[in-house]
Structure 1
Amino acid sequence: MSALSRSDLHRIFEMIDKNGDGLVSLEELNWLLERIEVQFSQEELESLVGKQSLSFDEFLFFHDTTILNGNYQEEGEEGDLVKAFKVYDLNGDGVISSEELQSVLGRLGLWDESSGKDCRRMIYAYDTNLDGVLDFEEFKNMMLHTVS
């Protein structure tokens, strides 16, 4: 189970494709990244993406290779996985609760009362120590689609 399904990613893609041209520009992509508090300079994003806009399949590839696998890492660290973890860990206590997950998914437009998503079940799937929350290692396993 992934944190975001293909259907979720398609909804995000459509949401950020402001002009409806079927492509996400670097500006539109940067808007999304800023919303989840991931900061890139325009030059970094251009270098990372390699073009001025992305089709949905290219957006999926960007998500899978860059965001999920943390390929844009800071020196010697799991940099952007750490940044992503901090986005979800709203109160800074070092773990992600179902309420925090629900809040962030809501900000992304991926959760509302009628969505049917159960954040407790999403967390339970990767909560290896069964404490009801995700620590960084459990979050990392979730983002990399592995359970140890």
Structure 2
Amino acid sequence: MSLLNANDLHQIFGKLDKNGDGLVSLEELNWLLDKIGVKFSLDELEPLVGKASLDFNEFSFFYDSISKQKNSSKEVPAEEEDHDSDLAKAFKVFDLNGDGFISCEELQHVLSSLGLWDENSGRDCRTMIHVYDTNLDGQLDFEEFKNMMFLAIA
């Protein structure tokens, strides 16, 4: 089950499609990954995406298939350390004060800097955090962040 709805995916797609051509290129996708601290070369990214650019339907399908793959995977792949390393880098991007937690304010600040936060959308970052906050402390620790990334983004 995809935790991002079609409107969320359209908004993300629109932000990624910087040149407005209706396609998200590898360069545009790599820009977002770079912003959250996940480093790929274009040569590494292309086999993951499967083509040089994606229209919205392909982008949505790619997101859904990655989400399903992450949700149905019971065994941990051998490259888990690499994933954890990439996720740790991404976590540090969000954990602005370095206290080991992502607060509502930190989440909102980073999403705003990526152009993915709209003050007029009516979204509340506390609600976004609450979905993944398993210990109900009002913030995300690394494990909760990892679950969020595997379920919502990947």
CA contact (8 A) 2:15 2:116 kept: no
Measured at CA, do residues 85 and 122 of structure 1 come closer, stay the same or move farther in structure 2, by a change above 3 Å?
A: same
* Aligned equivalent of 2:111: 105
* Aligned equivalent of 1:24: 24
Alignment of structure 1 residues 29-40 onto 2, 5 Å: 29-40=29-40
Deviates more, 1:107-116 or 1:42-51: 107-116
1:29, CA displacement in angstroms?
1.4
Normalised by the size of structure 1, how large is the TM-score? 0.78
- Give unmatched runs, 5+ long, in structure 2: none
* Aligned equivalent of 1:75: 79
Deviates more, 1:54-63 or 1:127-136: 54-63
CA contact (8 A) 2:70 2:151 kept: no
Matched, 1:126 2:132: yes
1:117, CA displacement in angstroms?
1.1
RMSD over equivalenced CA pairs, Å: 2.9
Normalised by the size of structure 2, how large is the TM-score? 0.75
Q: Distance in 1 between matches of 2:78 and 2:13?
A: 26
Structure 1 segments, 4+ long, off by >6 Å, are: none
Q: Distance in 2 between matches of 1:51 and 1:8?
A: 23
Matched, 1:137 2:138: no
* Aligned equivalent of 2:123: 117
Q: Distance in 1 between matches of 2:90 and 2:60?
A: 17
CA contact (8 A) 1:8 1:110 kept: no
CA contact (8 A) 2:26 2:53 kept: yes
3-state SS, counterpart of residue 118 of structure 2: coil
Measured at CA, do residues 106 and 69 of structure 1 come closer, stay the same or move farther in structure 2, by a change above 3 Å?
A: farther
CA contact (8 A) 2:38 2:87 kept: no
Q: Distance in 1 between matches of 2:122 and 2:11?
A: 15
Q: How many residues align?
A: 143
What is the aligned-residue identity percentage? 66
* Aligned equivalent of 2:92: 86
Measured at CA, do residues 82 and 113 of structure 1 come closer, stay the same or move farther in structure 2, by a change above 3 Å?
A: same
Measured at CA, do residues 61 and 89 of structure 1 come closer, stay the same or move farther in structure 2, by a change above 3 Å?
A: farther
